[in-house]
């Protein structure tokens, strides 16, 4: 087993997770940042990060970090941290394609004594059951004899400038006691919040996947409460504020549940559970409810428009916000697209406005072309879908100027006081 000082590090995958990690390590040691996307590498070399997770001065501070798309640049490395996406497919099944492809890449340059650490969110057992065989196949080496593995789940929170990679406690693990110690020591070089060394890779994998499953279920509960309170004519936010006066009440809010973690991770856990003969009930019930919220929001809007005798067929609707959360450009698994699709089923004309996203990315990911600016006095309905600070600063009165006389304003994110909007979740 190598010494910490002998490690020559590579980060494979330079997205929301990999780049901040590479930058922090690049301040202290030589790091190769590898990605298959040449455009991404070119922009990073030019000092720009489109995810906005890393500022230009931070990129400059990582003086020992180099960027490459070339496999040969990985050959001198002996420790590989894999930080590629783990999405779900159209049938909500885990899509391990990026993970397997990254494992193939690493396997081609793997040498005796090397260690491969995975950060991608997976189900318990995935590293050793799915990734290791690929590493063995492409390297011709034997696991835990010629090379070793570790798992340290990412805890990146896109758009959060307070909780950064170094200030969030890191779970670590290894395939042998010695490799676990090395992985833990490596991360402790940059993680100021400290680490938690799990007893096995499977424990670390399970810990990651339940973090977001727990949040998903908590939000599902609040979403269901919102459905109930709406039927009773009670404002959900007022109820939550009242309940929140108790010290141990958890401050969750209703809404759309998307993103690369909360809306995805539970499906990885349930997939694994079903493969071993257990059929989850609570987890999938929460997922079904959260996945139905887009349709519910549109149904509420249509009902309110109908009461005001606004024609729904052909109506112009403005959806404000497309990203999966506020104040970041991350479009991964955004559930705002459910609202847009549902509105189009009603034959509505939908304009999407989001100052955080580019037309090119939205068009590529979802076939949606956001408008540069909403039209004044043009819309029958307005949905505040994402709580960007620009919308907060604009204010409800200015936002209402986008609407026709008698329009319906739906404040999905409680951005303004209850009296400022016509509908709240």
Distance CA(142)–CA(40), nearest Å, equals: 34
Residues of 373-401 as b/e, b for ≥16 C-beta within 10 angstroms? ebeeeebbbbbbbbbbeebeeeebeebbe
3-state secondary structure 158-222: CCCCCCCCCCCCEEECECCHHHHHHHHHHHHCCCCCCEEECCCHHHHHHHHHHHHHHHHHHHHHH
Backbone angles phi, psi at 185, to 5 degrees: -65, -40
**Inter-axis angle of helices 132-139 and 97-109, nearest 10:** 40
Distance CA(251)–CA(83), nearest Å, equals: 31
Catalytic residues: 261
Only one residue has tokens 């885990």, namely: 94
Strand order, beta sheet including 316-320: 349-353, 316-320, 379-384, 403-411, 423-424
For 423, the enclosing helix (H) or strand (E) is: strand 423-424
The DSSP output letter for 333 is T
End-to-end CA distance of the chain: 55
- Quote the tokens at residue 241: 């504020």
Q: Which has the closest alpha carbon to 421: 391, 399, 404, 394?
A: 399
For residue 151, the cross-strand partners are 118
The CA-based diameter of the chain, rounded to the nearest angstrom, is 73
């Amino acid at each position: 087993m190598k010494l910490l000082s002998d490690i020559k590090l590579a980060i494979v995958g330079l997205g929301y997770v990999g780049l901040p990690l590479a930058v922090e390590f690049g301040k202290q040691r030589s790091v190769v940042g590898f990605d298959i996307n040449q455009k991404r590498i070119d922009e990073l070399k030019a000092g720009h990060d489109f995810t906005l997770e890393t500022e230009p001065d931070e990129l400059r501070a990582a003086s020992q970090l180099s960027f490459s798309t070339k496999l040969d640049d990985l050959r001198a490395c002996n420790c590989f941290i894999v930080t590629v996406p783990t999405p779900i497919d159209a049938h909500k099944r885990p899509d391990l394609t990026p993970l397997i492809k990254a494992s193939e890449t690493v396997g081609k340059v793997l040498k005796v004594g090397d260690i491969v650490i995975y950060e991608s969110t997976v189900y318990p057992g995935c590293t050793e059951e799915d990734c290791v065989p690929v590493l063995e196949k492409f390297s011709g080496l034997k696991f835990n004899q010629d090379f070793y593995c570790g798992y340290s789940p990412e805890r990146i929170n896109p758009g959060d400038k307070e909780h950064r990679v170094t200030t969030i406690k890191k779970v670590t693990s290894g395939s042998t006691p010695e490799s676990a110690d090395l992985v833990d020591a490596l991360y402790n070089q940059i993680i100021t919040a400290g680490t938690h060394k799990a007893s096995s890779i499977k424990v670390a994998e399970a810990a990651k996947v339940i973090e977001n499953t727990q949040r998903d279920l908590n939000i599902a509960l609040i979403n269901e409460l919102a459905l109930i309170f709406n039927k009773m004519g009670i404002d959900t936010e007022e109820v939550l504020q009242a309940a929140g006066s108790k010290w141990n009440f958890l401050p969750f809010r209703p809404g759309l549940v998307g993103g690369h973690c909360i809306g995805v991770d539970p499906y990885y856990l349930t997939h694994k559970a079903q493969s071993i003969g257990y059929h989850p009930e609570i987890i999938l019930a929460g997922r079904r409810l959260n996945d139905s919220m887009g349709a519910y929001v549109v149904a509420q809007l249509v009902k309110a428009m109908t009461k005001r005798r606004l024609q729904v067929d052909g109506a112009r609707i403005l959806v404000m916000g497309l990203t999966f959360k506020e104040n970041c450009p991350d479009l991964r698994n955004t559930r705002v697209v459910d609202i847009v699709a549902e509105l189009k089923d009603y034959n509505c004309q939908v304009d999407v406005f989001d100052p955080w996203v580019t037309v090119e990315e939205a068009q590529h990911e979802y076939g949606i072309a956001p408008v540069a600016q909403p039209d004044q006095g043009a819309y029958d309905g307005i949905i505040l879908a994402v709580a960007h600070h620009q919308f907060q600063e604009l204010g409800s009165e200015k936002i209402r100027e986008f609407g026709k006389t008698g329009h319906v304003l739906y404040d999905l994110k409680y951005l303004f006081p209850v009296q400022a909007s016509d509908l709240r979740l």
